[in-house]
Amino acid sequence: MIWNESKECMSREEMRMLQGKRLHKLVDLVYHNTPFYRKKMQEMDLTPEDIQTIDDIVKLPFTTKQDLRDNYPYGLQAASMQEIVRVHASSGTTGNPTVVGYTRHDLEVWKEVTARALGAFGISRNDVFSVGYGYGLFTGGLGLHYGVEHLGATVIPTSTGNTEKHLHLLKDLQVTGLACTPSYALYLAETMQKKGMSKEDLHLRVGVFGAEPWTENMRQEIEQKLGLQGYNIYGLSEIIGPGVAYECSCKNGSHISEDHFYPEIIDPETGKVLPAGETGELVLTTLTKTGMPLLRYRTKDLTSLITEPCECGRTNVRITRIIGRSDDMLIIRGINVFPSQVESVILEMKEFEPQYMLVVDRQGNLDTLEVQVELRKELYTDEMGSLLNLKKKLADRLKSVLSISAQVKLMEPNSIPRSEGKSKRVIDKRIIK
């Protein structure tokens, strides 16, 4: 189902015209209402009149998470507190959280783009949908919640906190749609198995997964274990929350709601805009927000743009799977390593659970990488020979994919900590030392 055909299937020309008009209006808004942007633009000798078409966007300054921190809590807002009706915040590992204020208009935009996503996943008014993202300052819970209501399906605000109860609800309330992090979906499947429940006991049809990077292999694993079709949803609180981009039935990249969020891909080192198809950092401009609109926000997420038409009929550009964040990328002995690369190797091998942890350390002057991975219960054995073979098989495969060697540590089933929200996959002891 296409929720808003007039905005999701526009001709490219029409879209660029609309984006240009909206950008001009946005720049005018922030120039007059956000002292931070006025100062930046004045320093660059720019006025709103210099921004007439969407191509002029490259003249504008970037915004970074540090800018949000430096102007904590409300410094980047373009609206007064009387107009702000909700605040969300995301906590980083260091420093102040990032605070985002929403006007009533922003909440309308948010539920519209989330409903588009749910429509693309095939959710309809006939579905009963459980939101297993945390409700609270995190945007996952409330973001999906209002999208489901706007679309007209039935929402169950399950939130996080009680996995067994969630399973009961899924079963008893005949839930057909589920949203949560992909790692939590696997944990649900695991708990189901422990409780002697099978996917046939449930009515799940569609899974909506995001908030952390995940791989194609992980999708297959979740789909098979929960008996549903799993789709990717992308977003970040600074921009709005979930719903910035979403997959369609083609499952080949996520369409950006481009009439609201203008995407660019840049080289994270030089800031130069890269052509479609090249991998770099995603930069987003909120074309229609009024609470805390952002110009050219550097997401740190690494992806590329697909501009070819999609078979589903939507004309909005797509982003490929996020391969990681520029600040998640590990540099081990000079080689760039993404946790997602390790994940795809582990998920290719049927001997392992999709549960792993990367431990990076430094011995002398040499970086070391240990990959801890859980053995599947049915393959858990005390027999030394087969364990050694398995370790070697994984180490060889990792070496060929990562181009560096890793120590493999086989772990007992259920020994790596699970998370209900975003999972933690890396311990970098070099930072602690």
Query: What are the residues binding ligand DLL (CB under 6 A)?
Result: 90, 133, 138-140, 210-213, 232-237, 241-242, 299, 301, 322, 325
Q: Which residues pair with 90 in a beta bridge?
A: 98
Closer residue to ligand DLL in complex, CB, 8/212: 212
Task: Please choose, from the candidates 376, 236, 218, 232, the residue with its C-alpha nearest in 3D space to the C-alpha of residue 301.
Answer: 236
To the nearest whole angstrom, how small is the minimum distance from the Cβ of residue 143 to ligand DLL?
A: 6
Q: Note whether 24 and 48 are within 8 A (CB).
A: yes
Q: Which residues pair with 426 in a beta bridge?
A: 358
Would you give the distance in Å from CA 374 to the centre of its chain?
25
Closer residue to ligand DLL in complex, CB, 108/328: 328
Q: Which residues pair with 301 in a beta bridge?
A: 325
To the nearest whole angstrom, how small is the minimum distance from the Cβ of residue 244 to ligand DLL?
A: 8
d(CA 71, CA 20): 28
Q: Note whether 429 and 218 are within 8 A (CB).
A: no
Task: Please choose, from the candidates 172, 175, 184, the residue with its C-alpha nearest in 3D space to the C-alpha of residue 140.
Answer: 184
Closer residue to ligand DLL in complex, CB, 183/232: 232
Cα of first residue to Cα of last residue in the chain, in angstroms, is 52
d(CA 382, CA 411): 12
Closer residue to ligand DLL in complex, CB, 10/179: 179
Task: Please choose, from the candidates 23, 44, 36, 86, the residue with its C-alpha nearest in 3D space to the C-alpha of residue 66.
Answer: 36
Closer residue to ligand DLL in complex, CB, 79/211: 211
Tell me the CA distances in angstroms from 187 to 164, 198, 200, 228, 378, one per residue in order: 11, 14, 17, 15, 17
Closer residue to ligand DLL in complex, CB, 235/263: 235
To the nearest whole angstrom, how small is the minimum distance from the Cβ of residue 425 to ligand DLL?
A: 12
Closer residue to ligand DLL in complex, CB, 299/368: 299
To the nearest whole angstrom, how small is the minimum distance from the Cβ of residue 233 to ligand DLL?
A: 5
Closer residue to ligand DLL in complex, CB, 133/187: 133
Closer residue to ligand DLL in complex, CB, 170/208: 208
To the nearest whole angstrom, how small is the minimum distance from the Cβ of residue 254 to ligand DLL?
A: 7
d(CA 282, CA 266): 7
To the nearest whole angstrom, how small is the minimum distance from the Cβ of residue 211 to ligand DLL?
A: 4
d(CA 318, CA 310): 9
To the nearest whole angstrom, how small is the minimum distance from the Cβ of residue 38 to ligand DLL?
A: 26
To the nearest whole angstrom, how small is the minimum distance from the Cβ of residue 36 to ligand DLL?
A: 20
d(CA 383, CA 86): 58
To the nearest whole angstrom, how small is the minimum distance from the Cβ of residue 73 to ligand DLL?
A: 16
Q: Which two tokens stand for residue 212?
A: 């952390």
Question: Which residue is listed with tokens 């391969």?
Answer: 323
Would you give the distance in Å from CA 236 to the centre of its chain?
7
Contacts of 203 (CB under 8 A, 6+ apart): 170, 174, 175, 176
Q: Which residue is nearest to ligand DLL (CB)?
A: 210
Contacts of 56 (CB under 8 A, 6+ apart): 20, 23, 50
Task: Please choose, from the candidates 53, 75, 78, the residue with its C-alpha nearest in 3D space to the C-alpha of residue 66.
Answer: 75
Closer residue to ligand DLL in complex, CB, 118/402: 118
Q: Note whether 114 and 144 are within 8 A (CB).
A: yes
Closer residue to ligand DLL in complex, CB, 204/302: 302
To the nearest whole angstrom, how small is the minimum distance from the Cβ of residue 5 to ligand DLL?
A: 24
To the nearest whole angstrom, how small is the minimum distance from the Cβ of residue 161 to ligand DLL?
A: 16
Tell me the CA distances in angstroms from 124 to 117, 149, 150, 171, 245, one per residue in order: 11, 11, 11, 19, 19
